[in-house]
Structure 1
C-alpha cells in the first residue's frame, strides 16, 4: 500500500511540474491563420495586423496566440483606428494681455467643426528667452478646467516654438508667463480626430414572444456575425427597463452576456447601446421586463464589432519566416506578456509599423487537447485530488482499525 501511495504522489508532482515547464502546444487550437507580410527582407520591424470577422467568430478572445516558425511571439492588442493626417492652421484671437509681475495672455481659438480638436499652439518672440508657462484651458474665460505647466525657450535660431494642447476641444487659453518674454501666438493647429473602425449588422425584428410580465425577441443571426455591442431603438423616446441578452454557446447552451436596468431619454438619441460581457457570434435573444408598464415597441436592432489590431516586433525577417495566428480554445488562459516584449507607444512614435494581413482561416489538422493543458489537465488534477483524499481516508481508516485491534487485545 505504501508503494501505491508513493506512486500517486509522484504522478501528481510530475503532472504539476509539466504544467509549469512545458511550452504551449499549437495542437491545442482548433483554427489558424497565416500572416502575410509583403516586405520580409528587413530587420527590426513593427508589424500591424488587423483582426477580421472570421477570427471573431471562432475565437474566445483570451485564446489568441501568435507564433513565429512555431515559437510564441508576444503581441499587443488594441482598437483599430483610421489615422487622420489632415491638419490646418488658424490664427487665434488675443482677447486680453497684461504685463505686470507676470505676463498674462488670454486667447480665443476659432470654433471647431465636428470631429476635430486642437493639437498645437505656435509661440514666437522677437527676443531670446526661456520661461515657465502656466497654461489653462476652458470652455469660457470665466472658468478654466485644465491646467498644465510648460517650459519654452528661444536661443538664437533654436526654439521650442510650440505648446502641445493634447488634442483638446477647449476654445479659451490663458497663459501666465514670466515678465520680459513678450510672446506672440501666430497660429493654432487643429487636426481631424482618428476614427475607430468597426463593422455592424442590422437584424430584422420579428414578432416577440409575449410572457407574463416581459417580451422575448429572438434573432437567428444566420451570418454568425460577431459583436461586442448591441444597439436597440424603440418607438418610445423615454423609458427604463430591465433587459437580459443571451446567446448560444457551442450551438447548445444559452449564456447570459448582459443583464441590467437601462434608462433611456430622448436626449440620448435614437439608439441605446448595450455592451456584451464577451463577444458573441451566434443566435441571441433580448428579453425586456415590462412589469406593469406598457410593452415597448422595438424598431431596430444593430450589432457592432469594434475592429482590433495586433502589433508585434518582427526581427530578421526572411522568406523562410512564417507567422501564424492560432485560436479556438475556450479553455485557454489569457496571454500575459512582459510589456517590454511588445511595441510601446514610444516605439510606435519612432518606427512606422508595417501592415500585414491575415490569410483565409483553416482548421488546424493537428488539433487535439493535450493531457497537461485544459480541459483534460483539469480533469486529471480533479481525479488526482479525489484520489489523494480517498488514499488519505483509507490510511486514517487503517490506523483507526489497527488501534481498535490493539485495544481489544489489551482488554
Structure 2
C-alpha cells in the first residue's frame, strides 16, 4: 500500500530530472528568423549578424538561440560599432632620450583633429632585440596617467613592430625599455572614433498627472519600440530631481527600471540621459519628484536602443544555408558557451568577417510547449507535488484511522 502512494512522488522526481538534462527543444520558441549570409564563406569563418527591432519586441534577451540545421551555434553578443576605416599616418617628435641603465624616450604626437584618436605607434631598430617596455601616456610631459607593459622583439625579418595605444587622445608618450634596444619611432597612426550605433524614437509628451510632490508622464509606446536608454529634454537649464521610470513588463505589472537622483547643468547639453536596468518594449511612465521646487517642464522624450551584433563561427562545410535564429520563450535560461567556441575580440575586427542578415520574422511552425520544458513541466511538477502531498496525507490519515480502530477494539 505504501508503494502505491509513492508512485506519484517517484514520477515527479523522474520528470524533473529529465527537465534539466534534456537538450534544447526549438519547438519551445514562438518566433524564428532565417539568416542570409553574404560573400564567399570560408570553413569556420567569422560571421557578423546585426539584431533588429523584431528581436527586442518579441525576445526575452536570454532566449536567443542560433542554430545550423537544428544544432546550437555558440555566439558572442556585443554593442554594434561603426568601424572607421580612415587611418592617418603621422610622425612623432622625439622630445627626450636617455640610454644608460634604462633607455627612456619621450615623444610628442601631433595635435588631434576633432573626432580622432591615436591607435598605434610603430617601433623599429637596426639590431635584433627583445625587450619589455613600460608605456605611459599623458596630456602633458609633467603627468602621465595611463600605463601598461608590452613586449617587443626583432628576430631577423620577424618583428612585433607596433604598440597598441588603445584609441587614446593623449599626445605625450613615455617609453622605458631595457638597455641595448636602441629604438626608433618612425610613425604613429590615428583614426576617427568608432561610433556606437543606435536607433531612436521620439515619444509625444502629454500633459502630466500632477500629485502633491511630483508629476507623472505616461507614454503608451503603441509601436512597442524597444529601448534601454531615455533622453529627456527639459526646459529648465539647471536642476536636480529624483526621477523614477517604470515599464509594464507583462501587460499587467509595472516594474521600476530606474530610481535615482538626476542632475543637469546647462553645460551638459540639451538632453539628459537615463540608463535603464532592462530593455522596455511596452508602455512606460516617468515620475519627476519636485519636492518644494518649481515643477519642471518636460518638452521631449526620446527612447534609445543600442544596436547589437552577434558573432559566430561558420560551419566546417562553409554552407550558407540552414541558419536560423529562434526566440520568444520567457522560460528559457540564458545561454552559456565556452569562450573558445565563438570569435574573440580580435577575430571580430578582422576585415574578412562575413555579414549575415536576418530575414522576415515568422512564427515558428513547430511551436508547442513540451511537457519536459517550462511552463508545462512546471505545471506538471506543481501538480505532482500537490498529489504527493495529498497522497501522504491520505496515507497518514489511513494509518491513524487504523490505529484508532485497533485501540477501540482493544479497549472493548
**TM-score for both structures, normalised by structure 2:** 0.90
Aligned to 1:275: 275
Aligned pairs for 1:164-203 within 5 A? 164-203=164-203
Q: Which moved more, 1:384-393 or 1:73-82?
A: 384-393
In the aligned structure 1, how far is the partner of 2:319 from the partner of 2:181? 55
Aligned to 1:265: 265
Q: Which moved more, 1:389-398 or 1:103-112?
A: 389-398
In the aligned structure 2, how far is the partner of 1:280 from the partner of 1:137? 40
In the aligned structure 2, how far is the partner of 1:355 from the partner of 1:136? 37
Deviations 1:219-264 (A, max 9, x none): 2223322111111121222322222222234544433322233233
- C-alpha change, 1:241 and 1:388, in structure 2 (3 Å) is farther
- Give the C-alpha shift of residue 34 in structure 1: 1.0
Aligned to 1:49: 49
Aligned to 2:314: 314
| Contact 1:19 1:373 survives alignment (8 Å) | yes
Q: Which moved more, 1:298-307 or 1:101-110?
A: 101-110
Alignment of 1:18 with 2:21, yes or no, is no
Q: Which moved more, 1:159-168 or 1:184-193?
A: 159-168
How many residue pairs are counted as aligned between the two chains?
410
Query: Secondary structure in 1 aligned to 2:395?
Result: helix
In the aligned structure 2, how far is the partner of 1:350 from the partner of 1:272? 36
Runs of 5+ in structure 1 lacking a partner?
Answer: none
Aligned to 2:163: 163
Aligned pairs for 1:69-108 within 5 A? 69-108=69-108
- C-alpha change, 1:109 and 1:359, in structure 2 (3 Å) is same
Deviations 1:331-384 (A, max 9, x none): 222122222322223544668321110111112233232222212222222222
Aligned to 2:28: 28
| Contact 1:154 1:160 survives alignment (8 Å) | yes
In the aligned structure 1, how far is the partner of 2:115 from the partner of 2:232? 24
Query: Secondary structure in 1 aligned to 2:117?
Result: strand
Q: Which moved more, 1:361-370 or 1:178-187?
A: 178-187
Alignment of 1:385 with 2:359, yes or no, is no
Deviations 1:158-184 (A, max 9, x none): 543322222222221112234444333
| Contact 1:40 1:318 survives alignment (8 Å) | no
In the aligned structure 1, how far is the partner of 2:46 from the partner of 2:129? 40
Compute the RMSD of aligned alpha carbons.
2.5
Aligned to 1:207: 207
Alignment of 1:359 with 2:359, yes or no, is yes
| Contact 1:82 1:196 survives alignment (8 Å) | yes
Query: Secondary structure in 2 aligned to 1:8?
Result: helix
- Give the C-alpha shift of residue 404 in structure 1: 4.4
Q: Which runs of 4+ in 1 moved over 6 A?
A: none
In the aligned structure 2, how far is the partner of 1:231 from the partner of 1:35? 33
In the aligned structure 2, how far is the partner of 1:124 from the partner of 1:39? 37
| Contact 2:311 2:348 survives alignment (8 Å) | no
- Give the C-alpha shift of residue 37 in structure 1: 2.0
Aligned to 1:344: 344
| Contact 1:46 1:351 survives alignment (8 Å) | no
Aligned to 1:37: 37
Runs of 5+ in structure 2 lacking a partner?
Answer: none
- Give the C-alpha shift of residue 186 in structure 1: 2.0
In the aligned structure 2, how far is the partner of 1:328 from the partner of 1:385? 28
Query: Secondary structure in 2 aligned to 1:379?
Result: helix
- C-alpha change, 1:135 and 1:292, in structure 2 (3 Å) is same
- C-alpha change, 1:173 and 1:305, in structure 2 (3 Å) is same
